[in-house]
Structure 1
Amino acid sequence: MGKKVKKESEPPPQDVFDPLPIQSQKVATVVLMLNSPEEEVLVKACEAIHNYAEKGDENRSSLLGLGAVEPLSLLISHEDKLVRRNAFMALGVMAANSDVKILLKKLDVIPSVIGKLSLEEDPVVLEFATLCLASLSMDFSCKVQIAEQEGLALLIQLLSSLDPDIKKNSLESIYNLVQDLPSRMALQRLNGVPPLLELLGSEFPVIQQLTLSTLATVTMDTDTRVTFREERGLEKLMDILCQKELSDLHAEVLQVMSNVLEDRESLQLIRDTGGLQTLLQFISTATLPGLQTHAVKAIAKLAQSSENHRLLHEQDTERSLVELLSVDSASVRTATCHAIAAMSLNLSSQDAFRHQDGIHAVVQLLGSEAGEVRQAAAQALASLTRRNPLNAHAVYEAEGVEALVQQLRDICPGTAAHAAAVLTNMAEQEVLRVSILSRGVMAALVEPLQSADTHTLVQATQALSALASQAEGRADLRNAGVLGPLVKLLRSNHKDVRRNACWATSVCANDELTVMEMCKLGALDVLQEINGSANRRNQFSERAFQSLLSFNLSLKYSLTNTLASTDITTDGFYDPGQARAGQSGLTLEDLSKQPVNQRRPVIAINAKPPETVSIQEPEESQQDSPTEALTASVLSAKAYISKGKGKGRKEDEKLRDEEESKPPLEVVDMDTEKQWMLPYDAAFHSLVTKATNTIGIIHEESEQYSALARLVSEAMGGPVEVDRQHDFLWELHLSELRYELQSNIIPIGRIRKGTYYHRALLYKVLADRIGVSCSLVRGEYNRAWNEVLLYIGMPCYPGCQPPPTAHLVDLLHQPGKLLRANTPQAIQYQTI
């Protein structure tokens, strides 16, 4: 056998690179390494990026700019476990950056992240995968995608992980998701409440607080509250409340309880277990404002149920709430006022708060510097005074009126709305209403009546209705400029605002000056438009329209062509003719300024003689101003003529010479000072006197109607045969009068030839003055007639009077004849 020869080793291959330790201090270089094909390089690069990103958000932004996000989003699905883990670590930390989150949405990374949510996965991967979802789940579109990928179910499963970081991140993701209703409902279906309740016993406070915050959200759902109660959730909450060492969780516990106790069964359970006393004890013993605030919020929610309220009332909760009003904390006072408002929905609590001097304490809070306190105090007073005159008077005695009026100008709409509600409640009592008006409430209402807040508008219009029932209130609202905003609200698209504005309009329309002002502002036009709409019309708009017309019978007759027997005309009434669609009614003064035209003349009524003016010689020590002197001269001349002291042309010339011999006066333009007056109609005055003396003494009602008809016919040209009406030249007569007077307005007493509508109008205005009941109806083609009611026939038995029947009064053809309504004769009289 030959000798063995030692075999030499083979040389290393030439294409293999010797191992190279990787070190770099350049971030850009590390980012480039994320594209390496070597696992070892990728592991080190991902680790380095994770460490760098943890140092702050500025570093994360830098990595984003260098393009690190795209390769990391791919590496979380790498087949190498170490690469995958380090990539998740880096991406989970970077996802906290808002710009990174935007890019991750575009890269559609959520399916890859959710795909790794399994208890069998590497705990480090789960920790940072859930951390990534905790950041992404704050975005709405990401929430939708997580839900679609069934991420909520996987996150609920991870709540049972042994790793506290996984629990914390999963819990935070769940909290973000359940802020939306679909996810809350899904959590209930997935039986997510029991795992949450288990976390209440965690040794980590952050997990307990996150759990309570999540429960506070999901227990807003009724079905979830049932599950919460069945899983002994209330007992767990009460257990935490009883442990002083867990006081940092008490505020969150009370927040959850305020939701859970809305259910009747839960309240019964907590009452039976003594939990209600524990809850109420927090009100008086808690020293931290946060705890007191949450405890009172729970009470406020409890009080919204009538049965719950009874239990709270039995525990003398009102006394505890009044004591909390003295706590120097805006949040506590705000919550307490809300609780008082909730409790005061019941009359027994309203009285209890008054007996505890709670009303005075709440009134004092109206002057708080904190806006939320002022608003809550006004809300509490609105509930306290609702249908409770004694409490309303207590607010007055606590000097709350001035503060409430000031609140109407508060920049917070809610405060103004609640203050208006309190004033509305108080205004039901006349003495309080007078006090409110004396504080300038009408001027203060102008601002809330122009608010953009619907609730404020509703309450402000209600207050206006309550306060405008007195004449003083209506005078104030005219001077304060309230009517302008009110009329604008009639056009509101909000049903309640429009309805209240219509009601306020009908209340304000209780005197002529207010009605005239509203008509000038276009109230009638708006109401006509509303009442012409089937959708917008309501009983309030119809009443407002009629209320305005009742104080302007001229406009009512023009718009509706009818005056009822209860519509009593007075001096100043005029008939401008039937109003055209969309035409605004003009006043007599406006019509008097129009040049003479060929349109239908306006018939005016005025039997009021001019007032007698007595002129006294001025004392020597007094000297009239030029204006006064000129006015005195004019009045003196008028008085001289009216008294008939002139005895002929010579006397008149003598008087004129005496006037001309006086020193010349400075002429003052008085057009802007004098007020237009409707001329006195002496002829009509004479007719009124004649009717009073001759017809007023007639006892038979039907004979009164006929006698008045004959008087009207005699004054306006006598009977006219039906077939001879074309010879009765009443149009020419009116045209002559118009040019004689140089006016389109003709006093009714000057008309000597009148047709149907002239005679019907004269009949109505004379009847109104002598107490004869009749209506006035305008037809077509210059027709008009009067309807009267007559009792015809004998009673069928004593005390039984048959109903009256309507008759038309013939004023033109057979003056005095009464035509039964709807008969051929009556119809012929009404139509051509």
Structure 2
Amino acid sequence: MQQRQLPKQLMIEVEKCLIALLSSESDGTKIAASQAISAMCEHSGSKEFFNHQGIPQLIQLLKSDNEEVREAAALALANLTTCNPANANAAAEADAIDPLINTLSSKRDGAIANAATVLTNMATQEALRGSIQSRDVMGALLAPLRSANTVVQSKAALAVAATACDAEARAELRNSGGLEPLVELLRSKNDEVRRHASWAMTVCASDELMATELCRLGALDILEEINLSVSRKNKFSEAAYNKLLNNNLSLKYSQTGYLSSSNIIGDGFYDYGRINPGTKLLPLKDLCLQEPNDIRAILLVNSKSSDVSPPPSTEDKSSDIGYGRSISSSSSLRRASKEKTRKNSYHFSAGVGSPTEEKSEPTSGRNTALSKGTTKEKGLRKGRGKKEEEKVKEEEELITVPKWAGEGSPEKEWYPPFDPDFCVYVYEVTKSILPINSIKEQIEALAKYVAEKMGGTIPKDKLQDFSWELHISELKFQLKSNVIPIGHIKKGIFYHRALLFKALADKIGIGCSLIRGEYGRAWNEVKLMNKSQKGVIGGLPPPEVYLVDLMFHPGGLIKLKSREADLYRFL
């Protein structure tokens, strides 16, 4: 029994001796003691022992003027805190965060890598992560991310992944210029660097703003290239690529032709059509500023307007104003003031939010002040003289000329074309379809609603006679743009209707997917439980997938693997 206890007793004596040596006046002794502690961390008992007596002394060594001492101390702390939350807490209690962040600017690569490892180990705990984030860790990690040393690059990228877990931290990383070097690390020939950079990319792409910026910097293209290589791809690169796509649904739908029920279409989404791998998808602003041509119309979903109110007008000048020249006073807004006074009272100036926001916000009483103001404005306009009408017309013409059109004037902030008709659709389905208790009945009602707005039922044998192409061409001419807000389309076929169904379904919380087919075909799929199978012993059966008919029998639900479904999806 005594023989078994002897090694443990000796171990304790050695541990005590090493702690004493950390206070030696000799830097060489401090380095050797720190390195010995690092080696002893392989034993869980030693990790527990140093929790109380070694960590504070090691943190003091991080403040040494000797770079080698700091490196050795950081190595010991890295090993002590790895897979050991208690030691990570002990380090935080001993005020390790500031010395560790200062060590990130060390002249020795080993010290930097070890300090980044300790911070990563500490950041796995939410409370400690908040303390680390408050010390400008993102700015401190900028130089390590740009290091030429692959170990430092790898540890720095891992630290970003551990600390960029909330929007504020990601914003600090972006503002400090940390995204550019992080994207560059994806090009590394080192497997670990690529893996950790991909992991950090997955974390950073958690919000749309960051995902958009990362795509602008080329992250999506690099990840696509990596994932095409059998030797270079990894599960983290695949996860990062999918995360970026899921926060850039316009690009995802163009590339893959598929949006799942969890891909919620928001304001600013546009369907450009299918693009080939490697093809760049132009930003919406660039597409809106292009002159109309023979390309397929680009469908836009946008219920969000600028904060600029439309000028008073008795004319609808939609045919005279293109999107590229109507930033301050769009034709859509003027149409809204003229045609949608009654229905547009709920005017979503800040856009329509998530389905839960739609449910929590009352739909009645939104419009009282706006309606009264509009009625009053109509009365005033009615009594205007000819000179006043001419004055109003001149004001409109001035407003429609963007500020950036003048030489030397600052560029006006650009907004996507506002779609008042789509806003009305959202309001109406929220009011009439959302309260329906049955999901199946909600889907059927929404399908009928979409079909009604897009030209009604179309018999299969009359499909060729449905002149939707002419209607779309007229809209492009009127709007002077290839971009057409979805609400403007009154004669739509498969892919117009499927997009509108998905966009409205997302607004009211109906789960559905959107799939692009060939030759203008697109459809929505929904999952429903079969009532006849409820109560079956052995648990609930999986839900069945149905295709939603928006064309031939609007509201009909077709089992996916049926002949009827194939006839709907394919020519």
Q: Give yes or no for contact 2:305–2:415 (8 Å, CA) kept in 1.
A: no
State the secondary structure of the residue aligned to 1:677: coil
Work out which of the residue numbers 710, 716, 724 in structure 1 matches 2:448.
710
Work out which of the residue numbers 18, 24, 37 in structure 2 matches 1:321.
18
TM-score normalized by structure 2? 0.81
Q: Which letter maps to 1:816?
A: G
Q: Provide the residue aligned with 1:648 in structure 2.
A: 382
Q: Provide the residue aligned with 2:557 in structure 1.
A: 818
In structure 1, how many angstroms separate the alpha carbons of the residues matched to 2:269 and 2:99? 45
Q: Which letter maps to 1:795?
A: Q
Q: Which letter maps to 1:464?
A: V
Residue correspondence of structure 1 range 118-129 to structure 2 within 5 A:
none
Q: Which letter maps to 1:802?
A: P
Residue correspondence of structure 1 range 639-788 to structure 2 within 5 A:
643-644=373-374, 645=377, 646-648=380-382, 650-651=384-385, 653-654=387-388, 672-788=410-526
In structure 2, how many angstroms separate the alpha carbons of the residues matched to 1:569 and 1:633? 25
In structure 2, how many angstroms separate the alpha carbons of the residues matched to 1:792 and 1:388? 49
Paired positions, count: 506
How many angstroms does 1:534 deviate by? 2.4
In structure 1, how many angstroms separate the alpha carbons of the residues matched to 2:297 and 2:394? 40
Q: Which letter maps to 2:478?
A: E
Q: Provide the residue aligned with 2:52 in structure 1.
A: 355
How many angstroms does 1:633 deviate by? 13
Matched, 1:809 2:548: yes
Measured against aligned partners, the alpha-carbon deviations of 1:99-122 in whole angstroms (never above 9, x if no partner) come to xxxxxxxxxxxxxxxxxxxxxxxx
How many angstroms does 1:597 deviate by? 2.1
Residue correspondence of structure 1 range 208-607 to structure 2 within 5 A:
311=8, 314-356=11-53, 358-607=54-303
791-800 or 687-696: which moved more?
Answer: 791-800
Q: Give yes or no for contact 2:161–2:199 (8 Å, CA) kept in 1.
A: yes
Change (3 A) 1:364 1:820: same
In structure 2, how many angstroms separate the alpha carbons of the residues matched to 1:750 and 1:423? 53
Q: Which letter maps to 1:807?
A: Y
Q: Give yes or no for contact 2:403–2:411 (8 Å, CA) kept in 1.
A: no
Change (3 A) 1:640 1:558: closer
Measured against aligned partners, the alpha-carbon deviations of 1:466-492 in whole angstroms (never above 9, x if no partner) come to 000122210110011111111111122
How many angstroms does 1:739 deviate by? 1.5
In structure 2, how many angstroms separate the alpha carbons of the residues matched to 1:829 and 1:481? 50
TM-score normalized by structure 1? 0.57
Q: Give yes or no for contact 2:273–2:298 (8 Å, CA) kept in 1.
A: yes
In structure 1, how many angstroms separate the alpha carbons of the residues matched to 2:439 and 2:97? 56
Give aligned-pair identity as a percent. 45
Q: Give yes or no for contact 1:319–1:353 (8 Å, CA) kept in 2.
A: no
Q: Give yes or no for contact 2:47–2:80 (8 Å, CA) kept in 1.
A: yes
Q: Give yes or no for contact 2:403–2:410 (8 Å, CA) kept in 1.
A: no
Pick 1 or 2: higher relative contact order, CA cutoff 8 A, min separation 6. 2
Gaps of 5+ in 2: 312-326, 339-369
Change (3 A) 1:614 1:762: closer
Change (3 A) 1:542 1:308: farther
In structure 1, how many angstroms separate the alpha carbons of the residues matched to 2:214 and 2:162? 18
How many angstroms does 1:657 deviate by? 5.1
- Give the structure with higher Rg (CA): 1
How many angstroms does 1:584 deviate by? 2.5
Q: Give yes or no for contact 2:82–2:121 (8 Å, CA) kept in 1.
A: yes
Q: Give yes or no for contact 1:793–1:802 (8 Å, CA) kept in 2.
A: no
State the secondary structure of the residue aligned to 2:88: helix
Change (3 A) 1:703 1:652: farther
How many angstroms does 1:798 deviate by? 6.0
Q: Provide the residue aligned with 1:70 in structure 2.
A: none
How many angstroms does 1:698 deviate by? 3.1
State the secondary structure of the residue aligned to 2:62: helix
Change (3 A) 1:703 1:632: closer
Q: Which letter maps to 2:32?
A: A
State the secondary structure of the residue aligned to 1:604: strand
Q: Provide the residue aligned with 1:236 in structure 2.
A: none
Change (3 A) 1:633 1:503: closer
How many angstroms does 1:427 deviate by? 0.9
Q: Give yes or no for contact 2:310–2:329 (8 Å, CA) kept in 1.
A: no
Change (3 A) 1:819 1:657: closer
Q: Which letter maps to 2:446?
A: L
How many angstroms does 1:818 deviate by? 1.6
Q: Provide the residue aligned with 2:527 in structure 1.
A: 789
In structure 2, how many angstroms separate the alpha carbons of the residues matched to 1:633 and 1:600? 26
How many angstroms does 1:368 deviate by? 2.0
How many angstroms does 1:329 deviate by? 1.9
Q: Provide the residue aligned with 1:74 in structure 2.
A: none
Change (3 A) 1:737 1:535: same
Gaps of 5+ in 1: 1-271, 273-306, 616-630
Q: Give yes or no for contact 1:555–1:585 (8 Å, CA) kept in 2.
A: yes
In structure 1, how many angstroms separate the alpha carbons of the residues matched to 2:43 and 2:110? 22
State the secondary structure of the residue aligned to 1:794: helix
How many angstroms does 1:703 deviate by? 2.8
Change (3 A) 1:650 1:587: same
Change (3 A) 1:668 1:496: closer
Q: Which letter maps to 1:781?
A: Y
Change (3 A) 1:700 1:441: closer
Measured against aligned partners, the alpha-carbon deviations of 1:518-562 in whole angstroms (never above 9, x if no partner) come to 010111111222222222222211211121122222222122211
How many angstroms does 1:765 deviate by? 0.7
In structure 1, how many angstroms separate the alpha carbons of the residues matched to 2:250 and 2:28? 59
520-529 or 694-703: which moved more?
Answer: 694-703
In structure 2, how many angstroms separate the alpha carbons of the residues matched to 1:395 and 1:462? 19
Change (3 A) 1:308 1:827: farther
Q: Give yes or no for contact 1:313–1:349 (8 Å, CA) kept in 2.
A: no
Q: Provide the residue aligned with 2:345 in structure 1.
A: none
How many angstroms does 1:590 deviate by? 2.6
Q: Which letter maps to 1:819?
A: I
In structure 1, how many angstroms separate the alpha carbons of the residues matched to 2:196 and 2:98? 25
Measured against aligned partners, the alpha-carbon deviations of 1:37-92 in whole angstroms (never above 9, x if no partner) come to xxxxxxxxxxxxxxxxxxxxxxxxxxxxxxxxxxxxxxxxxxxxxxxxxxxxxxxx
In structure 2, how many angstroms separate the alpha carbons of the residues matched to 1:575 and 1:466? 35
State the secondary structure of the residue aligned to 1:787: strand
Measured against aligned partners, the alpha-carbon deviations of 1:654-712 in whole angstroms (never above 9, x if no partner) come to 37659999xx9xx9758645321122211111222222233223333333222211211
Q: Give yes or no for contact 1:379–1:418 (8 Å, CA) kept in 2.
A: yes
In structure 1, how many angstroms separate the alpha carbons of the residues matched to 2:434 and 2:128? 47
Change (3 A) 1:632 1:698: closer
Change (3 A) 1:592 1:312: farther
In structure 2, how many angstroms separate the alpha carbons of the residues matched to 1:613 and 1:573? 23
Change (3 A) 1:688 1:722: same
How many angstroms does 1:738 deviate by? 1.0
Change (3 A) 1:658 1:764: closer
Q: Give yes or no for contact 1:592–1:744 (8 Å, CA) kept in 2.
A: yes
Q: Which letter maps to 1:792?
A: N
Q: Which letter maps to 2:499?
A: L
Q: Which letter maps to 1:752?
A: K
